[in-house]
Amino acid sequence: MKINNLGLLLALILVACSKSISPVDSSVETGVFHFGNGSEPQGIDPHIVTGVPEHHILISLCEGLTIPNPNSGGNLPGAAKSWTLSDDGKEYIFYLNKAAKWSNGDPVTASDFVWSWMRILTASLGSQYPDMLYYLEGAEDYHTGVTSDFDEVGVKAIDKYTLKVNLKNPTPFFIGMLSHYSTWPVHKDSVLKHGAIDDRNGQWTRPGNFVCNGPFQLKSWELNNKIVVEKNPFYWDAEKVSLNEMHFYPVSNVMTEDRMFRAGQLHVTSTLPSQKCPIYIEENNPDLRIDPYMGQYFYRLNIDNPSLKDVRVRKALAFSIDRKLLVEKVTKCGQIPAYSFTPPGSNGYQPDTKIPFDPKLAKELLNDAGYSEANPFPKLEILFNTNEDHRKLALAIQQMWQQNLGIEVELVNQDWKVYLSREMVGDFQVSRAGWIGDYEDPNTFLDLMRPNRGNNKTGWEDANYDSIVERANSTNNQTQRYELLKEAERILIDNMPIIPLYTYVRSYQLSPDVKGYNPHILDHHHPKFIYLERD
C-alpha cells in the first residue's frame, strides 16, 4: 500500500489549482473509446454467456458469418463474404472470406463454424442458448440426446471456405439471428488447449489465451474494474477499424455512471437514471440519446388463477389502463404506448391490434363476468421485482384499476430471484415483465406465447395460435408470413394473457466526439463503424 497517496490527498486538496484532462478529452488523440457497460460480464465465452454487457464486449472480439448493419436493414457480410439461399428457403451456402483470420493469424474456415456449432449443441456444456440453432435440421435432436451423430445436424463444411446450412423450415430471420453471439465461432485449438469441448470453466477466455476473429483482441481484464481490448491486426477489415482500444467499465450504479459521463470519464453510458431523463429532455441536453428499441414492457396474467380465468376480466383490466398517461406522466423518457405484443416496425412488421382505453366498456365487461358492487372482484396482486421504476408504474396501474373498475390491488415487490422463481411456478396473479428481441423479427416475440415455451409463464395455450405461428414459419413468402403472424397477434390480444403497456426505448448519453454510433433497434453497434472526432 502506498502511504504517499495520503500525502497526495492532502496536497491535492490544499493546493490543487489546475483542472485535469479527462479521458474523453485525451481520447480524440489516443483513439481509446470509454464504454459504460452496465455490469461485470459473466465471461466472454460466446457459447456460455447470456447478457447484454457480454454482447458489447463480444461484438468487438468475435465475428459471426454476418454482422449487424449500422444503418439498420439487412445484415452485412462478416466472416462470410456472401451467401446464397435455395428456392425452398431451406438451404444456405455461405462463402467464407478467405482473408478472415483469427487473432493469432490462423485462417477462419468452414470447419471452425461446424465445430463451434457442435460445441454449443453439446448438452454437457450447459449453454443457455442452444435453441438459437434449433432451426437447423437435427440440431434439437443432437442437443437433447435423441441422436449422438453430429453428421445428422444440418451444418457441413463443403470445403475449407464453404459452409452449407440446412434448415428444418424456411426461416426468413435466420441471417438476422447470425448477429447473436451464440452463433459465433470459437477457436478450436485454443478451447481444447485449456479444456474439453464441454468445459464451462476452461481458461481459454483469459487474456493471453483468448483467440477470436473480431476487429479487436483481448488485452487485459481486471475484474469489476475494466476490460481493455485493442485493435486486432489480423482482422480482415482492419483498415476500416479506426479505434485503437476500447475500455469497458462495469458500472452497475446508474448514478455513478451518470457522474462518470459528466466528468468526462465515459464516451457512452449503458443507460440513464430514469429520474434524470425528463430533466435532460427539458434541458435539451445535447448528449441525450433516445433510440428505438425492440423491447416490450407488459404485465403477465396468470390465467390458471380463478379470478383471471375469464377473458372478459382480462380484457377489462387491459381496457382500463391509460397507456398514454403512463408514458407521459410515469416513465417520461420517450417510451411509446403499446397496443400489441410485438413492437411495431420490427423488420417492417406492423401489427394491427388495438387495445382501447375505455373504462366504461371495461366496467361492462367486468359486470358481464359476474362482478358488481354486490359481488366485488377479489383483491388482486401485482408482483414485480424490487425497483423504483416498476413500483411507480404499478402504483399508477393500481390507481387506474381502483378508479375505473373498483378493484382493490396490492403491490408485492420481491428480490429479483424470488420474483423469477414465483413467476416460474405460477405463484402470482399479475406480474410485470419485459422482453427484448434476440433478432429483428416478430417471431422473437410471438414464439414466446406458444405452448410449452418456458417464457410463456401465463398458463395460456391456444392450438390455433400455435398452428398459425407454425404455418407462418414454414412459409417462404414474407408478405404471407407477416399476414399469418398478424393473425396470431390478433388471437393473442383477443385472449389477453398478457397486457402490453409500452415499447421500450434505448435512453443513454453519448459524447459528441463519437461518430458512427447509429441508432439500432437491437442496440447492436459494430465497433468497426465507430470513430472519434471532435467537431
Partner 1 sequence: MIAIFLKRILLAIPVLFAVASITFFLIKIAPGGPFDADKAVSPQVLKNLNEAYNLDASNWEQYVGYMTGLIQGNLGPSFRFPGRSVTEMIATGLPVTFELAFYAILIALVMGVFLGVLAALKRNTFLDFIPMAIAMIGICVPTFLMGPLLVLIFGINLELLPVSGWGQLPGDKILPSLTLGFAYAAYIARLSRGGMLEVLNQDFIRTARAKGLTERMVVIKHAMQGGLIPVVSFLGPAIAGLLAGSFVVETIFQIPGLGRFYVEAAFNRDYTMILGTTIFFSAMIVFFNLLSDLAALWLNPRSRDA
User: Which residues are at the interface with partner 1 (CB under 8 A)?
Assistant: 1, 5-6, 8-9, 12-13, 16, 19-20, 23, 40, 42-43, 45, 48, 50, 123-128, 130-131, 143-144, 200-203, 205-206, 222-226, 249, 251-253, 255-256, 259-260, 262-263, 265, 415-418, 420-422, 424, 434, 454-455, 457
Beta carbon of residue 453, minimum distance to partner 1 (angstroms, whole number): 9
Beta carbon of residue 350, minimum distance to partner 1 (angstroms, whole number): 26
Query: Based on CB atoms, which residue is closest to partner 1, 81 or 259?
Result: 259
Beta carbon of residue 200, minimum distance to partner 1 (angstroms, whole number): 5
State the Cα–Cα distance between residues 486 and 351, nearest whole angstrom.
6
Query: Based on CB atoms, which residue is closest to partner 1, 365 or 394?
Result: 394
> Which residues 6+ apart lie within 8 Å of 192 measured at CB?
none
Q: Which amino acid is at 533?
A: E
At residue 526, φ and ψ (nearest 5 deg) are -70, 125
Query: Based on CB atoms, which residue is closest to partner 1, 168 or 259?
Result: 259
Query: Based on CB atoms, which residue is closest to partner 1, 43 or 89?
Result: 43
Beta carbon of residue 180, minimum distance to partner 1 (angstroms, whole number): 12
Query: Based on CB atoms, which residue is closest to partner 1, 374 or 425?
Result: 425
Angle made by CA atoms 177, 178, 182, in degrees to the nearest 5: 90
Query: Based on CB atoms, which residue is closest to partner 1, 82 or 128?
Result: 128
Beta carbon of residue 420, minimum distance to partner 1 (angstroms, whole number): 4
Query: Based on CB atoms, which residue is closest to partner 1, 126 or 356?
Result: 126
Beta carbon of residue 199, minimum distance to partner 1 (angstroms, whole number): 9
Query: Based on CB atoms, which residue is closest to partner 1, 257 or 489?
Result: 257
- Helix 359-368 × helix 311-319 angle, to 10°: 160
Please report which helix (H) or strand (E) contains residue 384, including its range: strand 380-385
Query: Based on CB atoms, which residue is closest to partner 1, 101 or 506?
Result: 506
Beta carbon of residue 394, minimum distance to partner 1 (angstroms, whole number): 18
Virtual torsion, Cα 418, 424, 428, 433, nearest 10 deg: 80
Query: Based on CB atoms, which residue is closest to partner 1, 19 or 354?
Result: 19
State the Cα–Cα distance between residues 341 and 353, nearest whole angstrom.
9
Query: Based on CB atoms, which residue is closest to partner 1, 260 or 272?
Result: 260
Bridge-based pairing of strands 162-166 and 245-249 is unpaired
Query: Based on CB atoms, which residue is closest to partner 1, 2 or 354?
Result: 2
State the Cα–Cα distance between residues 49 and 227, nearest whole angstrom.
16
Cβ neighbours of 174 (radius 10 Å)? 21
State the Cα–Cα distance between residues 1 and 362, nearest whole angstrom.
67
Closest C-alpha among 518, 263, 80, 156 to residue 531 = 518
Beta carbon of residue 318, minimum distance to partner 1 (angstroms, whole number): 23
**Which alpha helices (H) appear in 153-295, and where do they start and end?**
174-177, 188-193, 254-262, 277-282
Burial class from Cβ neighbours inside 10 Å (0-12, 13-18, 19+) for residue 348 reads exposed
Are 277 and 507 contacting, i.e. CB atoms less than 8 angstroms apart?
yes
Beta carbon of residue 6, minimum distance to partner 1 (angstroms, whole number): 6
Beta carbon of residue 417, minimum distance to partner 1 (angstroms, whole number): 3
Burial class from Cβ neighbours inside 10 Å (0-12, 13-18, 19+) for residue 215 reads buried
State the Cα–Cα distance between residues 258 and 50, nearest whole angstrom.
25
Are 165 and 155 contacting, i.e. CB atoms less than 8 angstroms apart?
yes
Beta carbon of residue 296, minimum distance to partner 1 (angstroms, whole number): 13
In the 8-state DSSP scheme, what is residue 44? Answer: S
Beta carbon of residue 435, minimum distance to partner 1 (angstroms, whole number): 8
In angstroms, the Cα distances linking 31 to 66, 118, 177, 243, 513 are: 26, 38, 31, 5, 11
Cβ neighbours of 468 (radius 10 Å)? 20
Beta carbon of residue 38, minimum distance to partner 1 (angstroms, whole number): 12
C-alpha cell at 159: 470445403
C-alpha cell at 119: 460445441
Closest C-alpha among 299, 296, 294 to residue 498 = 299
Q: Longest C-alpha distance within the chain, in Å?
A: 78
Closest C-alpha among 426, 403, 441 to residue 179 = 441
C-alpha cell at 42: 459473466
Query: Based on CB atoms, which residue is closest to partner 1, 229 or 355?
Result: 229
